[in-house]
Amino acid sequence: MPELPEVEVLARHLAPLIRGKTIRDVTVRRERVLRPTSLRELGLKLTGAKFLQLRRRGKYLLFTLRVPKQKAPLRLLGHLGMTGKMYLLAADAPLPKHAAVVLGFGKTKFVFEDTRYFGRFTLDTSAVEKLGPEPLEKEFTVAVFAAALKKSSQAIKVKLLDQELVAGVGNIYASEALFRAGISPKRPARTLKLGEVKRLRQSIRAVLAEAIRCGSTVPLNFMGIGERDGLFYFGSAVGAPDFYTERLRIYDRAGKPCSKCGVVVRRIVQAARSTFYCPKCQSR
């Protein structure tokens, strides 16, 4: 379920549920997700530790824990990959088929479920140091963005997926932001004019902010999940306002009419990923 907005909403929901909770036991059912941390080290360090904080950086979750008798807090990094989810269950509730890591709290348990196991749950936090600016923060300036784009001849859509350029944009919101800005996904990054760079930056911010707003207002259930809500993208949560289902204006709409001009939306493949665009609204 994972691009920046989904991770942000997850962090906001999860933070109050785990804050102050002490980990009594650690169960790892798929060691791959710990990479490169060993099963032994994770169990050793997490058992007895208490959750203090949870924040998001790009598509990563950063947990801060307090270890008894230790001054320095412990940092834990989570990434949802393509199919990861995190939520709490009652201690006696059955685990899903693809539960990768389970942390026992006593009456409840924290579950990291990940069908494809592309996600991570690890003590190695080095990945966040390589990330570019947070798109919704002040650090994501026109100057920084424009300078980075000038250095690249990659197609702009492909470049937007580079987490060193800007952290948190994924395949869906890259198409959405370009559609909103009226820029062709095929344009080499370095050919964007300053006005287009400004528009694109604003579109990225607007698209992400709107998605966070939607996720924050929709009734999502993170405690004792029953339904399989993959969270946002294609779901239509019960009682959700109309704009929730109409939120994606270009992604996955190949063959349908463009919402702005009616021309048929196209799907192309760039860097082995699908890109959706309107050939008229995004002709250059």
Active site residue 201: no
Cα 17 from Cα 110, distance rounded (Å) = 10
Active site residue 3: yes
Catalytic residue among 21, 59, 180, 201: 59
Cα 263 from Cα 279, distance rounded (Å) = 7
Query: Rounded to the nearest whole angstrom, what is the least distance from the CB of residue 59 to DNA in the complex?
Result: 4
Residues shown for the chain: 284
Residue 16 DSSP class: H
Query: Rounded to the nearest whole angstrom, what is the least distance from the CB of residue 168 to DNA in the complex?
Result: 8
Cα 245 from Cα 233, distance rounded (Å) = 8
Query: Rounded to the nearest whole angstrom, what is the least distance from the CB of residue 107 to DNA in the complex?
Result: 28
Compare residues 143 and 269 and give the one whose CB is closer to DNA: 269
Cβ burial of 67 (10 Å; 0-12, 13-18, 19+) is middle
Active site residue 267: no
Going from the C-alpha of 109 to that of each of 86, 94, 166, 223, 279, the distances in angstroms are: 11, 11, 34, 10, 49
Active site residue 31: no
Catalytic residue among 2, 5, 133, 185: 2
Compare residues 49 and 192 and give the one whose CB is closer to DNA: 192
Which residues would be at the binding site for DNA (CB under 7 A)? 1-3, 6, 32, 58-59, 79, 81-83, 97-98, 115-118, 127, 151-155, 158, 161, 163, 170-172, 230-233, 271-274
3-state secondary structure of 57: strand
Query: Rounded to the nearest whole angstrom, what is the least distance from the CB of residue 152 to DNA in the complex?
Result: 5
Compare residues 49 and 99 and give the one whose CB is closer to DNA: 99
Compare residues 153 and 227 and give the one whose CB is closer to DNA: 153
Cα 61 from Cα 9, distance rounded (Å) = 11
Catalytic residue among 73, 273, 279, 280: 273
| Active-site residue list | 2-3, 59, 273
